[in-house]
Amino acid sequence: MGRRGGTAIDTKASAGDGQAGPASSQPDLSGFTALRSVLRIRPFRRLWIVLGVASFGDWFGLLATSLFAANQVESSAAKGAVFGGVIAVRLLPALVLGPVAGVLADRFDRRYTMVICDLLRFVLFASIPLVALFGARGGVAAGWAAIAVFLIEAITLIWLPAKEAAVPNLIPRARLELANQLTLITTYGLTPVLAALVQSALDAIVRRLSGAEPAELALYFNAFSRLATAIVVFYGIKEISGRTADEHRSEQGMLRQFVEGWRFIGKTALVRGLVLGIFGAFAAGGIVIGTAPFFTVSLGAGQAAFSLLFASIFIGLGVGIGLGPMIVRELSRRRWFGMSIVLAGASVLVLAASIHLSMAILGAVLVGAGAGMAFLAGTTLLGREIADDVRGRVFAVVQTGTRVVLMLAISLSSLLVGVGGSRELRIADLGISVSSTRILLFVAGLCGILAGISAFRQMDDKPGVPVLPDLWGSLRGRPLSPAEPFTRDGVFVVFEGGEGAGKSTQVTALAETLREQGYEVVVTREPGATEVGARIRSLVLGGSAGGSGPSPRAEALLYAADRAHHVATVVRPALARGAVVISDRYVDSSLAYQGAGRTLPVDEVSWLSSWATGGLKPDLVVLLDVDPAVGLTRAMARSGAADRLESESVAFHERVRYAFLDLAAGDPKRYLVLDAAQPLEALRVAIADRMAQLIAESDVTVDGERPEPPAQRELSDENLTSIVDGELERRR
């Protein structure tokens, strides 16, 4: 069993990761209030505006450079070669300069790095149409366009990590996700649409009125947007530096910084998970893009269907970025990242299995939504949890790697898509085309799912907390809490059951057996094991059914209060020193009595108990099952007067009984269910057998040595009863 009870969580991550509970530092802001809270920060507001303009220029000039270069030659074959060549050149710098770009971003003042890069890009963008303006035509102009694009992309590789690493210095950690949302929606949602509309309008108006090339205007606009960015960053956002290069960093060589950056990525589970997940998502996305034109053919659709699928991916991207945080709410961002990649991968499988365009569109939207949520979560985690002195190198690895992975995935999938041809599989009256395109999409979906699962396992900050209940609780605003970390060498056993099941008898018998073997045994109960608990017990059990006792919700809260104090002051300390803790009732009693019996929402009672106990679960739950009619008769004979719960109706106790049985059926490895109508000795033997197995697997020791498993002491029913009578008298 070892040292159990949870894993230490990075306090920095917990403080800013949107976790529920009192420690959350994120203010309760939403909608326009939250938006104003970010835009009220002047340095970020200025940066967001100029980056929005620059992003518009980038989208506006994305194809302008290639179109301009293609227009410099005459033949159709040459135009196609030049157009594709200039596009390909945009990806080459990632292979050449990518590995060292992050070192430059971390080594020098980021404000000056961004300003110098933007000034160089201004000159290069403006030079492309100027070369043609001053008489250079044909291959010279096209060649210079390719060279300029190569240089621009190389400079961008330095500018991007400097910008990404600097933004967290402008924004409080609690508002970083919202700032990333705003930036990503502007960059990938608003400006592409606006650029497309402006491009269409210019193409129709400029050519008709003046005969000029719209591509040249786009290049000039892109150039001056970079000049504007440089001016604003230099004069208006001095805070963007965050820090200047310290002496240690300036004394290190670039090679040393490069090696340290990669070593940091390799040894940090969070960064490894992020990099692996992002690369897997981009590989799957690249295969989707590379196979999309051929996939639409297998659906019996044409070029318009390809455009529709492409647009659907961007619509999903915007939905994921814009609405994702509002949907998952307080879910751990580390978990959200892995789940989003799994969603994107599973959606690619939907695409692969699509037999109609409408199904393919749904799959494309979900692919985009998963990718958008993963992109937002990953960017936020990198900015929030990575130290400032290595942040630029980590961003550079991610940005360079995604470009390379995307390029390879698109290229390889396009080459392989024709292999194998296409066959039609008849299912009823449906004609399904089984082609290499669908096989590649299927492989891409599996790769995305595996990458998401692997990233989730490396990054999970709530080990032991079930994923789907945590997601469902987060959607409802009540995420599950991870177990509080503590050294746990003892064994925790809980006895549960309805009234008159004989729990006290078996608790006392087991404790006596274990003590004779030399184990430290702590016998406790709920409610009432502490002074605070005794006062709570009088509140919840005093009176009669329907009397002046607490309301059902108040009753649940009182039990949770007793449990929180009980675990903190009795159970955890005993487990930490290696004792065997035997408790008469625990969390399951609240789920059965307040959940099923009082008909309160069981998931709410479960969340409340989990929060109160810090996620502490027993190693074994012994459930003594008894018919309510029999158990209530026993209870009355034992005490002579019914307490508030014993006075409830038989129907109430029937609901309690079946709730206990349902809980046991849901986790059979941790439960021992016994028929309480059996003889006391038979029950004792069964419990002792299971306890012997449990202790043999544990770290419990006697005087520092592991003893033999507890023996099964021969006890008669009469002896058991006398032991219980003595224990009850001691409690009184």
Asked if residue 656 is part of any domain, the answer here is yes
Evaluated on CA atoms 298, 301, 303, 304, the torsion sign reads negative
Does residue 347 sit in the same domain as residue 428?
Answer: yes
Please tell me the pTM assigned to this model.
0.61
Of 251, 285, 301, the residue that ends a domain is 251
Does residue 401 sit in the same domain as residue 356?
Answer: yes
Q: In sequence order, what are the residues at sequence separation of 6 or more whose Cβ sits closer than 8 angstroms to the Cβ of residue 591? A: 602, 605, 606, 609, 659, 663
Mean pLDDT of 703-716: 51
Q: Which of 170, 281, 302, 161 is nearest to 236 (CA)?
A: 170
Does residue 348 sit in the same domain as residue 377?
Answer: yes
Distances (CA, A) of 665 to 88, 296, 502, 673: 59, 48, 21, 9
Mean pLDDT of 306-334: 82
Residue 658, CB-side half-sphere exposure with 13 Å CA sphere: 8
Asked if residue 509 is part of any domain, the answer here is yes
Does residue 309 sit in the same domain as residue 400?
Answer: yes
**pLDDT of res. 621:** 93
Q: In sequence order, what are the residues at sequence separation of 6 or more whose Cβ sits closer than 8 angstroms to the Cβ of residue 211? A: none
Helix (H, G, I), strand (E, B) or coil at 618: coil
On the question of pLDDT at 631 being above 50, the answer is yes
Evaluated on CA atoms 243, 246, 252, 256, the torsion sign reads negative
- The CATH number covering residue 627 comes to 3.40.50.300
Tally of domains in the chain: 3
Of 452, 485, 518, the residue that ends a domain is 485
Reported as a single tens digit per residue, the pLDDT across 41-97 is: 888 888 888 888 877 777 766 655 555 555 655 555 555 455 445 555 666 666 566
Tell me the binding residues for ATP.
497-504
Asked whether 293 and 149 are in contact (CB, 8 A), the reply is: no
Asked if residue 193 is part of any domain, the answer here is yes
In the block, which residue shows the tokens 């009578």?
A: 725
582, β-bridge pairs = 493, 523
AA letter at 627: D
Q: What is the dihedral of CA 495, 501, 505, 506, to 10 degrees?
A: -40
674, β-bridge pairs = 624
Does residue 535 sit in the same domain as residue 639?
Answer: yes
Reported as a single tens digit per residue, the pLDDT across 246-305 is: 444 444 555 565 566 667 777 777 788 888 888 877 777 777 777 776 777 667 666 567
Distances (CA, A) of 171 to 41, 176, 337, 340, 714: 8, 6, 21, 25, 69
**pLDDT of res. 18:** 33
Asked if residue 402 is part of any domain, the answer here is yes
Does residue 49 sit in the same domain as residue 6?
Answer: no
Does residue 626 sit in the same domain as residue 501?
Answer: yes
Asked if residue 544 is part of any domain, the answer here is yes
Does residue 11 sit in the same domain as residue 27?
Answer: no
Asked if residue 258 is part of any domain, the answer here is no
Of 485, 500, 530, the residue that ends a domain is 485
Tell me the binding residues.
497-504
Asked if residue 276 is part of any domain, the answer here is yes
| Strands in 680-730 per DSSP E | none
Does residue 205 sit in the same domain as residue 90?
Answer: yes
Residue 7 structural domain:
1-17+263-485
Does residue 505 sit in the same domain as residue 432?
Answer: no
DSSP category for residue 481: P
Does residue 85 sit in the same domain as residue 160?
Answer: yes
Does residue 528 sit in the same domain as residue 669?
Answer: yes
Spatial strand order in the sheet of 580-584: 521-525, 580-584, 491-497, 620-625, 671-675
**pLDDT of res. 54:** 78
**pLDDT of res. 521:** 92
Percent of the chain with pLDDT over 90: 10
- The CATH number covering residue 48 comes to 1.20.1250.20
Reported as a single tens digit per residue, the pLDDT across 202-238 is: 666 665 655 556 667 777 888 888 898 899 888 888 7
On the question of pLDDT at 567 being above 90, the answer is yes
Percent of the chain with pLDDT over 70: 69
Asked if residue 526 is part of any domain, the answer here is yes
120 falls in which pLDDT band (50, 70, 90)? very high
